[in-house]
Amino acid sequence: MRQHELTRADVLTAALPYIQKYHGKTVVVKYGGNAMTSPELKQAVMTDIVLLSLVGVNIVLVHGGGPEITALSSRLGLETKFIDGMRYTDKATVEVAQMVLCGKTNKDLVCSIEMSGGRALGLSGLDGGMIKAKKLEGKADYGYVGEIVKVDPTPVSDALASGYIPVISTVGMDEHGEVYNINADTAVARIASALKVENIIMLTDVKGIMRDQNDESSLIVDASIKQVEELIAEGVVVGGMLPKVRCLCDAVLGGAKKAVIIDGRVPHAILIEMLSDDGAGTLIHE
Amino acid sequence: MRQHELTRADVLTAALPYIQKYHGKTVVVKYGGNAMTSPELKQAVMTDIVLLSLVGVNIVLVHGGGPEITALSSRLGLETKFIDGMRYTDKATVEVAQMVLCGKTNKDLVCSIEMSGGRALGLSGLDGGMIKAKKLEGKADYGYVGEIVKVDPTPVSDALASGYIPVISTVGMDEHGEVYNINADTAVARIASALKVENIIMLTDVKGIMRDQNDESSLIVDASIKQVEELIAEGVVVGGMLPKVRCLCDAVLGGAKKAVIIDGRVPHAILIEMLSDDGAGTLIHE
Amino acid sequence: MRQHELTRADVLTAALPYIQKYHGKTVVVKYGGNAMTSPELKQAVMTDIVLLSLVGVNIVLVHGGGPEITALSSRLGLETKFIDGMRYTDKATVEVAQMVLCGKTNKDLVCSIEMSGGRALGLSGLDGGMIKAKKLEGKADYGYVGEIVKVDPTPVSDALASGYIPVISTVGMDEHGEVYNINADTAVARIASALKVENIIMLTDVKGIMRDQNDESSLIVDASIKQVEELIAEGVVVGGMLPKVRCLCDAVLGGAKKAVIIDGRVPHAILIEMLSDDGAGTLIHE
Amino acid sequence: MRQHELTRADVLTAALPYIQKYHGKTVVVKYGGNAMTSPELKQAVMTDIVLLSLVGVNIVLVHGGGPEITALSSRLGLETKFIDGMRYTDKATVEVAQMVLCGKTNKDLVCSIEMSGGRALGLSGLDGGMIKAKKLEGKADYGYVGEIVKVDPTPVSDALASGYIPVISTVGMDEHGEVYNINADTAVARIASALKVENIIMLTDVKGIMRDQNDESSLIVDASIKQVEELIAEGVVVGGMLPKVRCLCDAVLGGAKKAVIIDGRVPHAILIEMLSDDGAGTLIHE
Amino acid sequence: MRQHELTRADVLTAALPYIQKYHGKTVVVKYGGNAMTSPELKQAVMTDIVLLSLVGVNIVLVHGGGPEITALSSRLGLETKFIDGMRYTDKATVEVAQMVLCGKTNKDLVCSIEMSGGRALGLSGLDGGMIKAKKLEGKADYGYVGEIVKVDPTPVSDALASGYIPVISTVGMDEHGEVYNINADTAVARIASALKVENIIMLTDVKGIMRDQNDESSLIVDASIKQVEELIAEGVVVGGMLPKVRCLCDAVLGGAKKAVIIDGRVPHAILIEMLSDDGAGTLIHE
Amino acid sequence: MRQHELTRADVLTAALPYIQKYHGKTVVVKYGGNAMTSPELKQAVMTDIVLLSLVGVNIVLVHGGGPEITALSSRLGLETKFIDGMRYTDKATVEVAQMVLCGKTNKDLVCSIEMSGGRALGLSGLDGGMIKAKKLEGKADYGYVGEIVKVDPTPVSDALASGYIPVISTVGMDEHGEVYNINADTAVARIASALKVENIIMLTDVKGIMRDQNDESSLIVDASIKQVEELIAEGVVVGGMLPKVRCLCDAVLGGAKKAVIIDGRVPHAILIEMLSDDGAGTLIHE
């Protein structure tokens, strides 16, 4: 037992330099994928967040919620239409998205954090006019899919200043009061830029950027924005990873200190990334 | 035109003493009924709230959302079961309630206030652990219907202090993390007590407490708690009005200065109540 | 009666966008002329000021007091001497001016605002060393007529920060302790510049700048400083209006956002100007 | 010269314990009599006040102004009427009093303090509604002579908090807006009570309370309120001294720590009182 | 390696409830014995303190320094005299004590904390007049051994408020400026009472209070003050442990929430005590 | 006696303009030499410092302690070795220096200030990491003599903001935790630059810079940095005065407004310098 206690103390003191590094800094966590659907992984994320909050890190949680939106839409018999490979969001669907994101996913996370001993405050891009959006312009009409015009981070910094962990749903409103669904990765990047965060942690279902998708040992541990551009040009970053990586590069260019893509399938991946020397996943920096 | 302008100035200056009276005071508005379903009446309420906020009143908006919960439940094919004349709320239904209240009604109101030029922040009883609840104990098992154990008004006062108009959905959580639907009238009363408000304004679909339900001229303009008890004993206050009136009496006993039941079917009923001498509806005081 | 109430609410809500526009902004009112001598007009001005103060406008009132100085001087048998068409102010007269402005006019206004429900604090250019002056240099010796060397707005901003409506008498002191009478229009312009106000409202006994003094329909509603210069060159702005207009132009160039000349003979002219779209009188802007 | 410097340092260091004693405390000075009419004595008072303000004492100056009111009244041909040996104050006279006190005496003192390097702010009992008064009720009708209903010391403490030396004219207003002349000694006592001051210093034209008016060596250096009552009963405190002494006793009973009557004919009497061990004049304490 | 990381995260998250418990609370550590003389143990204490400070605990470190005082005294040839088994402290020795405690031990600790990444501020009972002392009165004259008259915790709370870890040497001064050596255990108790701390952690060279000094398994894990009194009466608490235990009881009676005697010979004993469920050593509570 | 009092008041009021000049400004005093060894002179310095602190000057005291270090070193039998005419500081000696400066000299000064009625806080270059040092690089190895890398004035300004008189010992630490003795004159200059002080007062045992060391009437009262450079080139500033003067010039170039070398053998030399027109000693300015 004594041995056990000594180990515990050793681990805690080993965390000291990392705690010192992030103390008083703001970190945005993009939460989604397996880490959100598996109850065990979810609980580990909640614990990580409350712990980091207690050791003085200003944690901001941004979440998506695609699967739950799809589930409710289908229960309600809403048709899914694809245009150019992109889902068309009609009025009924954006209403479902708002309801699920702000009313279900967001509040469930608030409850989980509160149950883990943290103080959480649910926010959406609508509250305090945080996310000003407009209809996404593209090759086709995608309906109520929005692109961000401006992020006012005041509601987030007000919540942090009052001691809450802000939990954010990414919907936004245009000047006519129309609500749009905003891609959560894009929103994370813009919120992180507006807050000039120390770190963006993006939880995904892969190990990070890998040269060979089938070989985890080919993980790229660290890349500058220039190197990321080359990896994209070389076709290493493709598929669903491509827009995520672009968002993170934009965020770093926009004022975030760094961004990491980590594997949300590993329990306590956030703690491992933040409180160990080698971190985890792929780090993107300027 | 000149005549028109003079009249405008006269009206504004006539409002002066009422503005002075409420300046810097906190007022809770219970929002529901026709005032919530009619677009014109809703817009008038939004305008009233933003205006009162600008003239220095700390406005808190608490809303219900029964019809929308029922609508979504029925679209989802959830059965409605009644026990002792009271609706039984199963797990699926409380999830719908949370989703509709926090994700639809609440955020729609936030958007409406923002579009009217106010700064709104959506809150629920879950955020910051505001409403601690437990299963309602009664003659039967009503499922996930909660009764309030404790209200921590900190999230509301934090929001007011940061300059927002808090908009509150009345769900609460117990110590095991279970979410309950809370009757909005009860919640208003408890929140108003906790905030020691100057006034509770309850928007209803009647003129107020009337001696004869069919004769609007029998409106009781003003009643002490003792007089209200007598009216209840006499059978004047009955039906749906009875629990509402009991809530307001509790709130006044609990620390609110006064409470008024007003007719939400009249446009700008809130402004009329707050900025004129005779007020509107029925005033309950200690 | 219901009709009456509805109208009242309509007027109040129509004022909303204007209140939003000026909320938290500082506005200086130059008070004089008929609006100061007629008891009815004076009461309307007091009400307007208290109302604007309550809806969140930082109101500063600057007053003259020529007629009362003249009246007391003549009762005291002080001779009036004119040099180059300008009144010579001897030592006895400047003492009368100080006494009347700071002791009578200023305190009467303080009392009127307090009686109307506002919190007023009387200040003069002497208090806190607000107005540093020197002997006006001109073609002749005009005695104790001062020109402003420097305005320190700290006493005004201290009073605003403590929640008072500052009421200012325009006398100033030089480095030897000599007190000078300062033209109130000049003082308003300098104080407004120092405070970087949103608006200067100058109450006069005319409708504004008119192309034809005998035709109120020739009112110039809006003019840039460049346009004002042209109007002066064309001889449209003449007589007593000329120095007033020059002061306002200086103030706008010095940091005030805009200035308006309005007709103080109209009751509630200030409210009409500030809380309606077309405003009143002539607006001067950069 | 060296000798001279050493002496200077000795004197300064001898003042140290007294400065320590009053540092951060509030002291009210009642200013009147010879100390106000002699230019040399006046300058010495100004210097004392600025010096005490700089060494950390919160100095409040309250002044009368009887002779100047009388002088202007007589120049204006206002008749003086006595009732029961007390001057009747008609409407014209109270207007003269307000004008002279607030516009002449007060502002002259503000200028003198500013010229001596202090930061002064002139206040009256009207500003911020500081002195609520009513018609003095007595055996006869004395006209606009007021008695104090309530003192709100907020304008004084606001001015102190902003770093000003408040200079106060003792006029007050009733609920109908009528202005009354208030006896300065009474006002000093009430203001001192409201501020819970450390010391009231009353400048007079005598050495203090003397057993034998013709023998300065009979000065009573120190008296408890009980002893003062005995001195009054014995007929030692008579004439103009009697009401002054009663005011000071009331102030001490009302919350002031102590009060001293000192000889304003001695230059720097305030410094001598405050920065030496034996003080000066007569000390009244509980 | 992955296994290693998982363990680390597990340990950190296991610490969460304990961190939550002490977050924002003040804890005083009495530092001495082996934990101070062994370099390895000392470094572990420093790390523990910096870590606790970072996770939001207000840590105050109070140290003794007997061995170093003795060492320097002997190098300086100061004689050691005992009276009634208690060391007599002559003037020369108290000067050595002050010099060693405040100049060597204290500053060495400050350097160690700074090197470990904390922000430390060395204080003594002399700074800001923190410890008012007087000559210890006993059966004999013990020289410059002091007993505490009063502790003013302001310098400690000022340092905590500015974000420092206060490190305190226990010397005190009497009203004549004489400095006394104060027993560190007594000082800890008085400082802890004055600060109303959450916990006093006393590092010793034993496991805690044991029924049988030769059997570590007889450790008393938890005792109320009443139980401690009984243990003393039974002769279980004897020798050097007796005064320490009495000090801790006094502290708990004086306002500290609880106190623990822990074994400073175990590395990271402070972390083990504070961040595990069973704690360590003997807990004394009311 | 009256005459005596008048003189006292005259002296106090003569100090007024100087008090006004330094009110709210920061002044660093380098304390050493006779002013530190003579009990009478020391008491006079303490009184001056407490007095200046009370009249609103932010006083910072920096002290050396060479003679006491030498005395203890010799009592401990530590050898003194000179290299290139500069004393070599071995490990044992720097430990003695730290102990004497921080534990004896510093705390004695803290006690003296507290006994004189001031609130003192002892600091060293180690506390809060104030002085970052490194081994002095020169022609030879001087051991643990440090040169300053960086001064972080936060602990000093924190102490001033909390109302203490900071008393500073000039030792510093390098990045490896090694402590160095820092020349006090150099440290004063760097601290004064970092604090952008109004004045540096250096107490010495000479009258100031004199053209002829044997003729006090050749005192140079005032010199610009350029003039000082010329005096150095001319050989007027030599010996121990040379490094002191260089330090002061550096401080003035680094941000201090001015510096004065005064004669610490004159009682109350600090008061004489600060509160008289001609000052004392030699003033160095830009």
Taking only the tens place, the pLDDT of each residue in F119-128 is 999 999 999 9
Q: How far is D51 from chain F (nearest CA, A)?
A: 6
Instruction: Identify the band that residue D221 occupies on the pLDDT scale cut at 50, 70 and 90.
Output: very high
> What is the token pair recorded at F161?
């903001």
How far does CA F133 lie from the centroid of its chain?
A: 19
Instruction: Give the chain A residue whose CA is nearest to the CA of E54.
Output: A55
Instruction: Note the pLDDT of residue C8.
Output: 76
In this complex, how many residue pairs, one in chain E and one in chain F, have their CB atoms less than 8 Å apart? Answer: 113
Taking only the tens place, the pLDDT of each residue in F136-154 is 998 889 999 999 999 999 9
Is the Cβ pair A107, B111 closer than 8 Å?
no
**In the predicted structure, residue E174 carries a pLDDT above the cut 80:** yes
Contacts of E122 in chain F (CB under 8 A): 102, 122-124, 126-127
How far does CA A176 lie from the centroid of its chain?
A: 28
Residue in the structure block whose two tokens are 């700290």: C154
> What is the token pair recorded at E108?
């060495």
Contacts of F129 in chain E (CB under 8 A): 114, 119
Contacts of B12 in chain C (CB under 8 A): 11-12, 15, 51, 268, 271, 275
Is the Cβ pair F121, E99 closer than 8 Å?
no
In the sheet that A131-135 helps form, which strands lie side by side, from edge to edge? Answer: A146-151, A131-135, A171-173, A179-181
Q: Using CA atoms, how far apart are residues F77 and F96, in angstroms rounded to an integer? A: 12
Please name which of A129, A108, A141, A119 lies closest in space to residue A171, comparing C-alpha atoms: A129
Contacts of D15 in chain F (CB under 8 A): 8, 12, 51
Instruction: Note the pLDDT of residue E80.
Output: 78
Q: How far is B268 from chain A (nearest CA, A)?
A: 22
Please indicate whether residue B274 or residue F5 has the higher confidence score (pLDDT). B274
* Residue D260 DSSP SS3: strand
Instruction: Give the chain D residue whose CA is nearest to the CA of F266.
Output: D6
**In the predicted structure, residue D86 carries a pLDDT above the cut 80:** no
Instruction: Identify the band that residue D270 occupies on the pLDDT scale cut at 50, 70 and 90.
Output: very high
| Burial (CB count <10 Å: 0-12, 13-18, 19+), residue E206 | buried
Is the Cβ pair A13, E271 closer than 8 Å?
yes
R_g of chain A, CA atoms, integer Å: 19
Contacts of F177 in chain E (CB under 8 A): 111-112, 114-115
> What is the token pair recorded at C248?
């306002």
Instruction: Note the pLDDT of residue C192.
Output: 97
Instruction: Identify the band that residue C5 occupies on the pLDDT scale cut at 50, 70 and 90.
Output: low
Q: Tell me, what amino acid is at B186?
A: T
How many angstroms separate the first and last alpha carbons of chain D?
Answer: 46
Q: What is the DSSP letter of C127?
A: G
**In the predicted structure, residue F75 carries a pLDDT above the cut 70:** yes
Which of A157-166, F29-38, F234-243 holds the top average pLDDT?
Answer: A157-166
Q: Using CA atoms, how far apart are residues A52 and A18, in angstroms rounded to an integer? A: 11
Bridge partners, residue B148, by sequence: B133
Mean predicted confidence (pLDDT) in D114-139: 96
Please indicate whether residue A242 or residue F66 has the higher confidence score (pLDDT). A242
Percent of chain B surpassing pLDDT 70: 97
Chunk chain A into consecutive blocks of 10 residues (it has 286) and report each block's average pLDDT, rounded to whole numbers.
62 87 96 91 95 95 91 90 81 96 98 96 98 92 94 98 97 97 96 97 94 91 95 92 95 96 93 80 94
Instruction: Identify the band that residue F1 occupies on the pLDDT scale cut at 50, 70 and 90.
Output: very low
Mean predicted confidence (pLDDT) in E139-165: 95
Is the Cβ pair F54, D2 closer than 8 Å?
no
Instruction: Note the pLDDT of residue B96.
Output: 96
Q: Which of C1, C3, C4, C5 to mutate to test the interface with B (most CBs of B within 10 A)?
A: C5
Is the Cβ pair E268, A117 closer than 8 Å?
no
Instruction: Note the pLDDT of residue F278.
Output: 64
Taking only the tens place, the pLDDT of each residue in F219-230 is 999 999 999 999
Q: Using CA atoms, how far apart are residues F57 and B279, in angstroms rounded to an integer? A: 59
Mean predicted confidence (pLDDT) in C146-162: 97
Q: Which residues contact B77 (CB under 8 A, 6 or more apart)?
A: none
Phi first, then psi: what are they for B148, rounded to 5°?
Answer: -80, 130
Q: Which of E6, E48, E55 to mutate to test the interface with A (most CBs of A within 10 A)?
A: E55
Which of C14, C56, C116 has its CB closest to that of B54? C56
Q: How far is E5 from chain A (nearest CA, A)?
A: 7
Contacts of E12 in chain A (CB under 8 A): 11-12, 15, 51, 268, 271, 275
Count Cα atoms within 13 angstroms, Cβ side, for D266: 24
Instruction: Give the chain B residue whose CA is nearest to the CA of A165.
Output: B128
Residue in the structure block whose two tokens are 């598929």: A239
Instruction: Note the pLDDT of residue F7.
Output: 73
DSSP secondary structure string for all residues of chain A: -HHHHHHHHHHHHHTHHHHHHHTT-EEEEEE-THHHHSHHHHHHHHHHHHHHHHTT-EEEEEE--HHHHHHHHHHTT---EEETTEEEB-HHHHHHHHIIIIIIIHHHHHHHHHHTT--EEEEETTGGG-EEEEEPPSSS--BSBEEEEEE--HHHHHHHHTT-EEEEE-EEE-TTS-EEE--HHHHHHHHHHHHT-SEEEEEESSSS-BSSTT-GGGB--EEEHHHHHHHHHTT-S-TTHHHHHHHHHHHHHHT-SEEEEEETTSTTHHHHHHTSSS-SSEEEE-
Q: How far is C7 from chain D (nearest CA, A)?
A: 32
**In the predicted structure, residue F134 carries a pLDDT above the cut 80:** yes
**In the predicted structure, residue E2 carries a pLDDT above the cut 60:** no
Exposed e or buried b for every residue in A76-88, given b needs 16+ CB within 10 A? Answer: eebeeeeeeeebb
Q: How far is F64 from chain D (nearest CA, A)?
A: 25
Q: Is the interface score ipTM higher than 0.90?
A: yes
Q: Which residues contact E276 (CB under 8 A, 6 or more apart)?
A: A5, A8, E18
The CATH class that applies to domain A21-285 reads alpha beta
Which of E56, E117, E275 has its CB closest to that of A12? E275
Instruction: Note the pLDDT of residue E184.
Output: 95
Q: Using CA atoms, how far apart are residues B269 and B42, in angstroms rounded to an integer? A: 11
Is the Cβ pair D126, C119 closer than 8 Å?
no
Mean predicted confidence (pLDDT) in D154-180: 97
Instruction: Identify the band that residue D2 occupies on the pLDDT scale cut at 50, 70 and 90.
Output: very low
Please indicate whether residue C166 or residue A88 has the higher confidence score (pLDDT). C166
Of the ranges D103-107, E149-153, F19-23, which one carries the lowest mean pLDDT score? Answer: F19-23
Instruction: Note the pLDDT of residue E4.
Output: 58
Is the Cβ pair E112, F177 closer than 8 Å?
yes
In this complex, how many residue pairs, one in chain C and one in chain D, have their CB atoms less than 8 Å apart? Answer: 113
Contacts of E266 in chain A (CB under 8 A): 2, 6
Contacts of C271 in chain B (CB under 8 A): 8-9, 12-13
**In the predicted structure, residue D6 carries a pLDDT above the cut 50:** yes
Is the Cβ pair E55, A268 closer than 8 Å?
no
Those chains having 3 or more beta-carbon pairs within 8 angstroms of chain D are C, F
**In the predicted structure, residue D250 carries a pLDDT above the cut 90:** yes
> What is the token pair recorded at A5?
């206690």
Please indicate whether residue C138 or residue B176 has the higher confidence score (pLDDT). B176
Taking only the tens place, the pLDDT of each residue in B223-263 is 999 999 999 999 999 888 999 999 999 999 999 999 999 99
Is the Cβ pair F55, D50 closer than 8 Å?
no
Is the Cβ pair D115, C164 closer than 8 Å?
no
Q: Three-state SS string across F193-213, please?
A: HHHCCCEEEEEECCCCCECCC
Q: How far is F78 from chain E (nearest CA, A)?
A: 11
Q: Using CA atoms, how far apart are residues F151 and F191, in angstroms rounded to an integer? A: 6
Please indicate whether residue C83 or residue F41 has the higher confidence score (pLDDT). F41
Q: Which of D7, D11, D12 to mutate to test the interface with F (most CBs of F within 10 A)?
A: D12
Mean predicted confidence (pLDDT) in E170-176: 97
Contacts of E75 in chain F (CB under 8 A): 76
In the sheet that E120-124 helps form, which strands lie side by side, from edge to edge? Answer: E120-124, E165-169, E58-63, E26-31, E199-204, E258-263, E282-285, E222-224
Q: Using CA atoms, how far apart are residues A214 and A211, in angstroms rounded to an integer? A: 9
**In the predicted structure, residue F69 carries a pLDDT above the cut 80:** yes
Phi/psi region, residue B201 (left: phi>0; alpha: psi -120 to 50; beta: rest), is beta
The H helix count followed by the E strand count for chain E is 11, 14
Our answer on whether F and E touch (3+ beta-carbon pairs < 8 Å) is yes
Taking only the tens place, the pLDDT of each residue in E32-86 is 988 999 999 999 999 999 999 999 999 999 999 888 999 999 999 998 787 877 7
Instruction: Note the pLDDT of residue F180.
Output: 97
Instruction: Note the pLDDT of residue C80.
Output: 78
Q: Find the chain F residues whose C-beta atoms sit closer than 8 A to any C-beta of D.
A: 2, 5-17, 19-20, 23, 44, 47-48, 50-51, 54-56, 116-117, 266-268, 271-272, 275-276, 280
**In the predicted structure, residue D171 carries a pLDDT above the cut 90:** yes
Bridge partners, residue A168, by sequence: A62, A123
Instruction: Give the chain B residue whose CA is nearest to the CA of C50.
Output: B16
Is the Cβ pair B56, C51 closer than 8 Å?
no
Is the Cβ pair F111, E164 closer than 8 Å?
no
Q: How far is F72 from chain D (nearest CA, A)?
A: 34
Torsion of CA E264, E268, E269, E271, to 10 degrees: 150
Instruction: Note the pLDDT of residue A280.
Output: 75
Is the Cβ pair B44, C10 closer than 8 Å?
no
Is the Cβ pair A272, E9 closer than 8 Å?
yes
Q: Find the chain B residues whose C-beta atoms sit closer than 8 A to any C-beta of A.
A: 75-76, 95, 98-104, 106-107, 110-112, 114-115, 119-124, 126-129, 155, 158, 162, 164, 171, 173, 177, 179
Average pLDDT, chain C: 92
Contacts of D107 in chain C (CB under 8 A): 98, 102-103, 124, 126-127, 171, 179
Instruction: Identify the band that residue F276 occupies on the pLDDT scale cut at 50, 70 and 90.
Output: confident
> What is the token pair recorded at F76?
């401990």
Instruction: Note the pLDDT of residue D66.
Output: 80
Residue E272 and residue E52 in contact, taking contact as beta carbons nearer than 8 Å: no
Mean predicted confidence (pLDDT) in E233-256: 94
Which of A20, A51, A266 has its CB closest to that of E12? A51
Count Cα atoms within 13 angstroms, Cβ side, for E284: 29
Helix axes B2-22 and C39-54, enclosed angle (nearest 10): 50
